[in-house]
C-alpha cells in the first residue's frame, strides 16, 4: 500500500520506517500515525524482518503531535477517539525490536515516540524536549512517565516544567540515548545495530526484549523470577542448541532468522 506521510523500505532482514512530512518538521498528525501503525503491523507480520528502524529527517525526527490538527479539540472528542493512545502505542507493543534513529528535533510527541522504541541512537545535532508546557498542555504520549524512568525525577521535572531542550550529549549522559554519532553516520550505525539484532535467533531476541521491557513494569523480585523462567525455557530451543554447539565447535552459529 502506498504511504503518504512516511516511506517504508527493507534492507535485507531490517525494516526502515521514515517519517516524511519535512515541511511540518514531521509533525505527528493522525494520518501519519495511522501509517506508522500500519507499517509496524506489516513488519511484525513479515517473517523475513527481524528488527526495524524508525527515523525522520536531518532537521527533525519529529517536532511533536500536530498542533494545528489538535488545537480545537475538546475533552469528549479526545476521550471518544482515545486521542494519542489508539495508534501511537503500537510501537511500544511491537514484539520485534525497533530502534529510533534520531537527528534534529525530537520534541513532545517526537521525543515520546522515540522513547517508545527499544533504544535511541542519536545524531550529535539531536535535540530532545517535552515543550508541551509552552503551549499550555502537558505531555500526552507517555512523556511524564517514560522520560522519568529513563532520566530520573530531577531531570524529567526540569524538562517537563521548563520545556527546555536537551542536546544529544546530555541525553547520552543521562541514559536517554544509547549512542551518539555524527549525522552522516546515523543510518549506517542504526542499520548495523538492527542487522546484528535481526541476525540472532528470532525467538531469543523476542524473549530478551520482553524481559527488559518487564523491568519497567514489575518489582525486582518478580522481574528476576520471570527472567529465570524465561532463561530456563530457552534451553533445548534451536537457538540455544546451535549457539552453544557453535561455541564448542569454534564456528559461527547459524541462527534461525525467521
What is the C-alpha radius of gyration for the chain, rounded to an integer number of angstroms?
19
Is residue 35 among the annotated active site residues? Answer: no
- Which member of 40, 65, 101, 180 binds ligand CAA (CB under 6 A)? 65
**Which residues fall within 8 angstroms of residue 237, CB to CB, at 6 or more apart?**
201, 203, 204
Q: Judging by DSSP bridges, how do beta strands 105-107 and 119-123 pair with one another?
A: unpaired
Is residue 56 among the annotated active site residues? Answer: no
CA distance 161 to 142: 15
Q: Is 140 in the site for ligand CAA (CB under 6 A)?
A: yes
Q: Is 19 in the site for ligand CAA (CB under 6 A)?
A: no
Q: Which of 35, 112, 189, 201 is catalytic?
A: 112
- Which member of 35, 66, 199, 201 binds ligand CAA (CB under 6 A)? 66
CA distance 28 to 61: 10
- CB of residue 62 vs ligand CAA: minimum separation in angstroms? 8
- CB of residue 71 vs ligand CAA: minimum separation in angstroms? 9
- CB of residue 44 vs ligand CAA: minimum separation in angstroms? 23
Q: Is 56 in the site for ligand CAA (CB under 6 A)?
A: no
- CB of residue 107 vs ligand CAA: minimum separation in angstroms? 4
Whole-Å CA distances, 232 to 116, 206, 207, 236: 28, 15, 11, 9
- Bridge partners of 180, per DSSP, are 122
Q: What angle do CA 207, 209, 212 make, to 5 degrees?
A: 110
- Which member of 35, 132, 189, 201 binds ligand CAA (CB under 6 A)? 132
Number of residues that bind ligand CAA (CB under 6 A): 22
CA distance 125 to 59: 9
What cell was used for 106?
525530537
Rounded-to-10 torsion of CA 190, 211, 160, 85: 90
Q: Which of 132, 172, 189, 201 is catalytic?
A: 132
Interface mask toward ligand CAA for 186-225; x: CB under 6 A: ----------------------------------------
Given the complex with ligand CAA, which of 60 and 207 has the nearer CB atom?
60
- CB of residue 114 vs ligand CAA: minimum separation in angstroms? 12
Whole-Å CA distances, 122 to 60, 64, 176, 243: 12, 17, 10, 31
- Which member of 15, 50, 64, 243 binds ligand CAA (CB under 6 A)? 64
Is residue 65 among the annotated active site residues? Answer: yes
- CB of residue 96 vs ligand CAA: minimum separation in angstroms? 24
Is residue 109 among the annotated active site residues? Answer: yes
* Footprint of ligand CAA on 109-128 (CB under 6 A): 109, 112
Amino acid at each position: 500500500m502506498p504511504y503518504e506521510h512516511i516511506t517504508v523500505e527493507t534492507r535485507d532482514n531490517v525494516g526502515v520506517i521514515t517519517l516524511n512530512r519535512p515541511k511540518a518538521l514531521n509533525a505527528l498528525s493522525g494520518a501519519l500515525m495511522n501509517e506508522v501503525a500500519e507499517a509496524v503491523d506489516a513488519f511484525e507480520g513479515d517473517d523475513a524482518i527481524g528488527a526495524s528502524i524508525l527515523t525522520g529527517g536531518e532537521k527533525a525526527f519529529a517536532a511533536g503531535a500536530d498542533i494545528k490538527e489538535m488545537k480545537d479539540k475538546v475533552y469528549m472528542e479526545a476521550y471518544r477517539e482515545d486521542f494519542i493512545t489508539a495508534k501511537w502505542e503500537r510501537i511500544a507493543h511491537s514484539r520485534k525490536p525497533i530502534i529510533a534513529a534520531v537527528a534534529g528535533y525530537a520534541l513532545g510527541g517526537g521525543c515520546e515516540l522515540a522513547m517508545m522504541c527499544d533504544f535511541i541512537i542519536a545524531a550529535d545535532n539531536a535535540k530532545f524536549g517535552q515543550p508541551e508546557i509552552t503551549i499550555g498542555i502537558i505531555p500526552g504520549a507517555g512523556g511524564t512517565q517514560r522520560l522519568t524512568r529513563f532520566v530520573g525525577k530531577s531531570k524529567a521535572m526540569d524538562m517537563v516544567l521548563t520545556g527546555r531542550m536537551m542536546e544529544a550529549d546530555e541525553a547520552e549522559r543521562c541514559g536517554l540515548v544509547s549512542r551518539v554519532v555524527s549525522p552522516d553516520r546515523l543510518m549506517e550505525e542504526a542499520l548495523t545495530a538492527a542487522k546484528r539484532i535481526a541476525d540472532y535467533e528470532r525467538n531469543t531476541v523476542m524473549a530478551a526484549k520482553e524481559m527488559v521491557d518487564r523491568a519497567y513494569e514489575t518489582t525486582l523480585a518478580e522481574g528476576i523470577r520471570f527472567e529465570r523462567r524465561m532463561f530456563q525455557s530457552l534451553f533445548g530451543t534451536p537457538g540455544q542448541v546451535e549457539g552453544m554447539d557453535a561455541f564448542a565447535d569454534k564456528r559461527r552459529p547459524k541462527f534461525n532468522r525467521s
